[in-house]
Amino acid sequence: MTENITPEQADLLEILKTRRYFLRSAVEGLTDEQAALTPTVSELCVGGLIKHVSATETEWADFIVRGPIAGGGMEWSEEAVAAYGNQFRMLDGETVDGILAAYDEVAARTDALVLSEDLDKRWPLPEAPWFEKGATRSVRQVFLHVAAETAHHSGHADIIRETIDGKKSMG
């Protein structure tokens, strides 16, 4: 860290760190095979959720640096939809260690952005059915969204983990 870190930057880093901790804890001690299990009625697995959160955090970090992708970045080709779906599962050859190492790289990049970007900078959101037309987001809001997204999927991962072996993140 740096000596010139503001209290707000420290708070953002702390909230991101704690949300990531809870997501990561859902995979702690699992084998690659267990992390790929889909023991609930959903098709989600713990390893896939970490991949998805990592991919989502990467997309938002890119948004912070470059703004929205022309055309919203949405592609609905069969290949694009399949690639998106693969974010939620562990593919052949993927390991817990590899997924966590990639997530650590994404987290380090995001944390560096917390320290280097103007939190008040705003970008227009891409056109998408889930965004209000003409809406913008500040860099600050994006970091808070990443923390919320991570917490959201930590809950999913916690339920899946409890179904696998009874381990709970709390309690």
Residues 90-130 have pLDDT tens digits of 999 999 999 999 999 999 999 999 999 999 999 999 887 88
> Of 2-6, 64-68, 74-78, 116-120, which has the strongest mean pLDDT?
116-120
Predicted model pTM = 0.92
With a cut of 60, say whether residue 6 has pLDDT above it: yes
Residue 86 tokens read as: 């693969």
Q: Long-range pairs for 2-6 at CB < 8 Å and ≥24 separation?
A: 2/115, 5/115
Is the CB of residue 46 less than 8 Å from the CB of residue 26? Answer: yes
Name the CATH architecture for the domain at 7-164.
Up-down Bundle (1.20)
In sign, the C-alpha dihedral spanning 61, 63, 67, 73 is positive
